Amino acid sequence: MKPSLKKRFWKEAAVVQTDDGYKVTLDGHPVRTPSKSALIIRYHSIAEQIADEWMAQEEEVDPATMPATRMVNSVIDKVSINADAIVEMLSEYAGTDLLCYRATTPQSLIAEQAHVWDPLLQWSADAMNAPLNSTSGVMFTAQDDASIDVYRQRLQTLNHYQLAGVHDLISISGSMVIAMALISNHISLDQAWIAATIDEAWQEKQWGADDEAQEVLVKKRSDFEFAYGFWKNASAVH
């Protein structure tokens, strides 16, 4: 069932500078978050994205086409209030990282995972001083608390906007290491996506593309790219 959408009622969306940052107005009226807080944005580039999203709406407002608005709503209504809990939740990914759980068969997939993932785990050990143990299969393998704490401390250095972007990078990829290697400029966005989707790519090579799976993957890639762009905007020098 399609959710009920609000009708567009404004003619112009604009960015207005305030003492605390930037706000987006609709015909002069400020946009607010779902919890009715003022939508004050720290970064001008992100505020412009939000204004563009509101201007792009047609007769009905479709939140699915407004990722910047949703992300800043989350920053204000959730991340700013629950930052410590979010850091703890994300830290757990270092304890169950995608790169640490390898296929047991076939040999071609085992080799592909090793080719892409081993250098990333080596980077974690060398550059982050956070070695992680890998295993074959899905049985849990414990990680050193000191390694997990390295990533926890790295997350604690992020501002709320950066943390929101990194949250999606980690949760979409299933890997703390991929996300951190990406935002540390150790790998490119394309390399990060390849590392995050080795299993899917291998399956496609073997059995061909599945339309439904491809649709899901395209959406995930779009969300991953947006999260990285949001991170970059929140990390730019202002």
Same-domain check for residues 23 and 117: no
Same-domain check for residues 152 and 184: yes
Domain of 159, in residue numbers = 74-235
Same-domain check for residues 129 and 218: yes
Mean pLDDT of the chain: 94
List, as one string, the DSSP characters of 101-155: EE--S-HHHHHHHHHHHHHHHHHHHHTSS-----EESSS-----HHHHHHHHHHH
Same-domain check for residues 216 and 104: yes
Same-domain check for residues 197 and 171: yes
pLDDT at 1: 40
- Distance between CA 66 and CA 51 in Å, rounded? 10
Cβ atoms of 99 and 175 within 8 Å: the answer is: yes
- Distance between CA 155 and CA 172 in Å, rounded? 17
Write out pLDDT tens, residues 185-211. Answer: 999 999 999 999 999 999 888 888 788
Same-domain check for residues 103 and 155: yes
Same-domain check for residues 112 and 217: yes
Write out pLDDT tens, residues 94-113. Answer: 999 999 999 999 999 999 99
- Distance between CA 199 and CA 217 in Å, rounded? 12
